[in-house]
């Protein structure tokens, strides 16, 4: 299956869920135009409270539609944008990408993966148990965070549902993703 954008979402407010859009515009070094989390420095409230001068490594949130499939199979009613993502993908194993991977979205937009999204209790406000459902353990007992990845915008452009995704891995050695 080819990698594709299945939905794009944004919100001007600091709400968890983001309404789906026909398209979003990514701005280099900032994030999603008009989104509450856009900017060079951190915009997530908890991070702003700690140090508002930190660089914003969470300009764009991406979730794989396969997670939505998994959650629906477990009895959760979830849809694109509901868990706060800006870009919903299909056909890319986002969680296994190394840090620094560049995702070419559509014709011109490029985002660089900075790390994993750490699921938070806000997910349980959507549906009880949703946060726990986005966490797992591997065979060695190591915590697996499934709630998508965060990225910064390297090249701007419009992104729409149906746009192809091209994955560009960084040069080795590859660094595994950590929460950002």
Question: Residue 46: which pLDDT band, with cuts at 50, 70 and 90?
Answer: confident
What pTM was estimated for this model as a whole? 0.96
- What average pLDDT does range 89-109 have in this prediction? 98
> DSSP letters along 80-133, please?
TTTTS-SEEEES--GGGSPTT-EEEETTTEEEEEEEE----THHHHHSTTHHHH
Q: CB count, 10 Å around CB of 151?
A: 29
Residue 146 has pLDDT above 70, yes or no: yes
pLDDT tens-digit series, residues 30-45: 999 999 999 999 998 8
- What average pLDDT does range 76-81 have in this prediction? 97
Residue with tokens 């299909």: 90
42-51 long-range contacts, Cβ below 8 Å, gap at least 24? 45/14
The pLDDT of residue 48:
85
For residue 126, give the nearest of 24, 15, 45, 51 by alpha carbon. Answer: 15
Fold classification of 4-168 is: M1 Pyruvate Kinase; Domain 3 (2.40.33)
Question: Residue 161: which pLDDT band, with cuts at 50, 70 and 90?
Answer: very high
SS3 assignment, position 158:
strand
How far is residue 20 from each of residues 10, 111, 161, 178, measured CA to CA in Å?
Answer: 7, 19, 10, 27
Pairing type for strands 143-145 and 102-105 reads unpaired
Residue 111 has pLDDT above 70, yes or no: yes
DSSP secondary structure code for residue 179 in this structure: B
Are the C-beta atoms of 65 and 88 separated by less than 8 Å? yes
> What is the percent of the chain where pLDDT is above 90?
93
Q: CB count, 10 Å around CB of 52?
A: 10
Residue 1 has pLDDT above 80, yes or no: no
Question: Residue 178: which pLDDT band, with cuts at 50, 70 and 90?
Answer: very high
């Amino acid at each position: 299956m080819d990698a594709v954008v299945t939905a794009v979402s944004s919100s001007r407010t600091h709400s968890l869920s983001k309404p789906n859009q026909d398209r979003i515009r990514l701005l280099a070094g900032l994030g999603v135009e008009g989104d509450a989390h856009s900017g060079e420095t951190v915009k997530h409230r908890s991070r702003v409270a700690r140090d508002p001068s930190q660089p914003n490594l969470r300009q764009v949130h991406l979730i794989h539609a396969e997670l939505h499939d998994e959650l629906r199979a477990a009895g959760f009613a979830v849809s694109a944008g509901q868990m706060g993502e800006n870009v919903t993908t299909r056909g890319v194993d986002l969680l296994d990408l190394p840090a620094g991977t560049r995702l070419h979205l559509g014709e011109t937009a490029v985002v660089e993966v900075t790390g994993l999204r750490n699921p938070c209790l806000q997910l349980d406000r959507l549906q009880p148990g949703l946060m726990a459902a986005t966490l797992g353990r591997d065979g060695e007992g190591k915590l697996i965070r499934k709630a998508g990845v965060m990225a910064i915008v390297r090249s701007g452009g419009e992104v729409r549902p149906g746009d192809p995704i091209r994955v560009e891995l960084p040069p080795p050695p590859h660094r595994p993703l950590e929460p950002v």
